[in-house]
Amino acid sequence: MKRNFSHVFLISLVLFLSGAVWAQDSVYTNSTGMEFKRIPAGSFVMGKFLPPYPRPSVESGNASSQANGYREGDYKLAEELAKKDAMPGFTATIEKSFYIGRFEVTQGQWKKIMGTNPSVFQGKKVPDDANRHPVERVTWADVQKFLAKLNQLEKGRKYRLPTEAEWEYAARAGATEDIPWSKIRQSAQIGLRSTSIVGQKAPNAWGLYDMLGNVWEWVEDYYNEKIFADSISPKSGSEHVLKGASFTGDVKNATYMTHAAGPGNGWDVGFRVVMETKE
Amino acid sequence: MRTFLLVLLICTVSNTHAQNSIPRGFARIFNEQDLNGWHISRTSHQGTTPDCRVEDGAIVLREHPYGQGGILLSNKKYKNFELYLEARIDSFSNGGIFLRSTESGQAYQIELSEPGGTGSLFGEMLRVSKTADASGRSKVWKPNDWNSFRIRMTGDTPHITLWINEVKMWEVQEPVNDFIAGATKGMIGLQSHWSATYGPNVAEFDMSGSWRPGAAHRFRNIAIRELK
């Protein structure tokens, strides 16, 4: 009995320690209170565009009585255009694991680092604790200043914005197709009149919150003025890419794939941070 | 010689006037040549890469690529103004004239939708307190032809009036300014609606009726009179 007990104890200890080591690897909280989740290296298909097109309803049979107002020939034209414009996408490879913020950077965290709060949705504009709402009305250049200060404070760590590929890979969390509307509504703060406290909706499969909705998120890449990213991002440009849509968005653009760009409205534009792994 | 010049001047002026239906006191905000002074919203849910071009002195909006619409915005923001423009819209394609639009296209909207709700007032990504219908539109509307819109918008709390083909459709005093970040000025926008998602099996209903394939909305003689 005693021997059995010690076995159980040893096994429990090993499990506990391995769990602790794994947990240390998997999540990290810095001195500013920013929580990160480790994302493994991997690859996914980016920019696959296969727009659905309508077919005539079998019941009505008569094109002139279709609810969408399509006339004879319109269905054929829709199919032709949808097939002509379709794109296979390309494989984006994330060579190295990285840590990404489990939440959007909050107003409280911005204040701690920068000593200011540029956000519109604070004070009487929100019904609850604005410090836990995402910071907004930050330009890409403002975010670079935040990151420079954060890197100074947290010695030995390298913080930066995610690349667009890293962001979309983390947002998809293994999903190969774009996100269905019902799932967007579960996970995204959309169709609202202000930002919300971060982390209130369902996380994605990798435990990340508000990847869609709440605030648009800046990424590292310059904008290519196309519907989706290219396999190689432009080396220069006038605007940077925004991902994930905001509380003003809806099921059309609060998706993994949406490839938007600045300046946006300002008051619904924020970001989350990547911390590089020490590999 | 003087008489000849005077006659020539009168002829020129009257001829120009015949082609130019813009009311007196309005300044063009579209130069009929190119899209200088305008830009595409890169954060609209309608799409970020619409086909916007100038054809025969008119701005023409189409979807691009298939299923993706978008919004063309004036670079300049306006607060109190009268906007004049002429629109020719294909049927079964949903668009709109945006007023005091934000960069992502959150705006008071005059609907452009035939057959249907052309001239209605409501919001694009904006809950508008007081909406309106242009119920008298059928008496003046010319299907598949150019129709003029004159829209007057004033006040911190918007007061909006619409005339179609110079016949007053409605006048609305909003009870509050519906813009969530408190904007009292914004851009003029022209919209083509999205009609398909990026991929299959994500949508819960068919949006193909929002923009018939190949449809276009055309706008010409776009001019504004800023008010105090």
Q: Which of B39, B40, B42 has the highest number of chain A CBs within 10 A, making it the mutation to test binding with A?
A: B42
Q: Considering chain A, what is the average pLDDT of its residues? A: 91
Q: At which residue do the structure tokens 């800046």 appear?
A: A218
pLDDT band at A7 (very low <50, low <70, confident <90, very high): low
Q: What is the DSSP letter of A87?
A: B
Name the nearest CA neighbour of B143 among B165, B161, B128: B165
Q: For domain A31-47+95-276, give the fold.
A: paralog of FGE (formylglycine-generating enzyme) (3.90.1580)
Q: How many A×B Cβ pairs under 8 Å?
A: 136
Between A217 and A61, the more confident residue is A217
d(CA B89, CA B67): 17
Specify the pLDDT at position B19. Answer: 53
Indicate if the pLDDT at residue B57 is higher than 60: yes
pTM, full prediction: 0.91
- Are B191 and B101 in contact, with CB atoms under 8 Å apart? no
Specify the pLDDT at position A278. Answer: 85
Specify the pLDDT at position A72. Answer: 82
Q: What separation in angstroms does the CA of A153 have from each of A114, A167, B15, B189, B197?
A: 11, 24, 71, 44, 43
This model of the complex carries an ipTM of 0.91
Q: What is the DSSP letter of A256?
A: S
d(CA B111, CA A42): 46
Q: What is the mean pLDDT of residues A33-51?
A: 98
Per-position DSSP letters for A35-78, written without gaps between them: EEEEE--EEEEE--B--------TTT--GGG-TT-PPTTHHHHH
Cite the residue boundaries of each domain of chain A with CATH code 3.90.1580.10: 31-47+95-276
Verify whether the Cβ–Cβ distance A69 to B91 is below 8 Å.
yes
Scanning every residue of chain B, which has its alpha carbon at the shortest distance from the alpha carbon of A71? B212
pLDDT band at B129 (very low <50, low <70, confident <90, very high): very high
Q: Looking at beta carbons, which residues of chain B come within 8 Å of A177?
A: 199, 201-202
Q: Considering chain B, what is the average pLDDT of its residues? A: 93
